């Protein structure tokens, strides 16, 4: 018998896998390859694939109505995909997420699925006035705001500690004319 010459995905080096995976949309990539094995998790959970998540579906209007316009309808992810994201994927990558593109019907569930300590932006689609009022006056906004303020306070605290350390060093070495740090 002739030996098999087939190459499997896991036979490729990480660098090649990263180049291939960059061609995919990150939501499909994470959904399809998350928890397949430890090596693939390490790659697909990388910041490159997890920092900006578009947790919705854009469908060009020209696919629904025969037009040449570049207008899109926005839909929520299917329930099974959303379940997997909220229960399994988002809790594992939450620290990498800096931006979320969300659709109004799934937004609350996604935002409350986990804490997003590095979240710096949210794009909201299909949002009605009543929903916006609910978000910006309710629990979701409070959780996001408190998390963001807490992270800012931690950053300020670290900065102040560094200033205090520098001042102590300068006080101790005030009589030296040259101080070098390598």
- Report the run of H or E that residue 50 belongs to, with start and end: helix 47-50
Check whether residue 38 and residue 123 sit in a common domain: no
Asked whether residue 135 is assigned to any structural domain, the reply reads yes
Is the domain of 20 the same as that of 73? no
Note down the domain range covering 26.
9-50
**Same structural domain for residues 43 and 57?**
no
* Surface-to-core class of residue 46, CB atoms within 10 Å of its CB (0-12 exposed, 13-18 middle, 19+ buried): middle
Is residue 160 within 8 Å of residue 152, measured between CB atoms? no
The sign of the torsion formed by the CA atoms of 109, 113, 115, 116 equals: negative
What does the pLDDT read at residue 34?
A: 94
Judgement on whether residues 31 and 86 belong to the same structural domain of the protein: no
Identify the pLDDT of residue 96. Answer: 95
Residues 60 and 134 in one domain: yes
151 and 130 both lie in a single domain: yes
* Residues 32 and 69 occupy one common structural domain: no
**Domain contains 181:** no
Whether residues 17 and 37 share a domain: the answer is: yes
Residues 132, 144 within the same domain: yes
Number of domains in the chain: 2
Assigned domain for 1 exists: no
Q: What angle do CA 73, 78, 79 make, to 5 degrees?
A: 140
Instruction: Decide: helix, strand or coil at residue 15.
Output: helix
Whether 57 and 143 map to the same domain: the answer is yes
Q: Does 26 share its domain with 36?
A: yes
Query: Are the C-beta atoms of residues 24 and 35 closer than 8 Å to each other?
Result: no
Residue 178 lies in a domain: no
Is 122 within the bounds of a domain?
Answer: yes
For residues 115 and 27, membership in a common domain is answered with no
Per-residue tens of pLDDT for the chain, all 182 residues: 556 678 788 889 999 999 999 999 999 999 999 999 999 999 999 999 999 999 998 887 765 555 555 677 888 999 999 999 999 999 999 999 999 999 888 888 998 899 888 888 888 888 777 766 666 666 666 666 566 555 555 555 566 666 666 666 666 655 555 555 44
- Phi first, then psi: give them for residue 103, nearest 5 degrees: -105, 145
């Amino acid at each position: 018998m002739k030996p098999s010459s087939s190459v499997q995905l896991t036979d490729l080096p990480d660098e090649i896998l990263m180049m291939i995976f960059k061609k995919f949309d990150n939501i499909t990539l994470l959904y399809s390859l998350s928890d397949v094995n430890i090596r693939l998790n390490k790659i697909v959970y990388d910041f490159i694939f997890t920092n900006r998540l578009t947790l919705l579906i854009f469908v060009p209007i020209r696919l629904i109505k025969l037009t040449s316009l570049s207008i899109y309808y926005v839909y929520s992810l299917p329930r099974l995909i959303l379940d997997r994201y909220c229960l399994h994927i988002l809790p594992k990558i939450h620290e990498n997420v800096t931006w979320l593109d969300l659709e109004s019907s799934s937004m609350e569930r996604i935002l409350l699925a986990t804490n997003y300590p590095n979240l710096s932006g949210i794009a909201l689609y299909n949002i009605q006035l009543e929903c916006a009022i609910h978000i910006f006056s309710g629990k979701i906004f409070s959780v996001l705001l408190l998390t963001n303020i807490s992270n800012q306070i931690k950053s300020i605290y670290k900065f102040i500690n560094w200033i205090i350390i520098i001042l102590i060093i300068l006080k101790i070495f005030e009589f030296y004319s040259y101080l070098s740090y390598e």
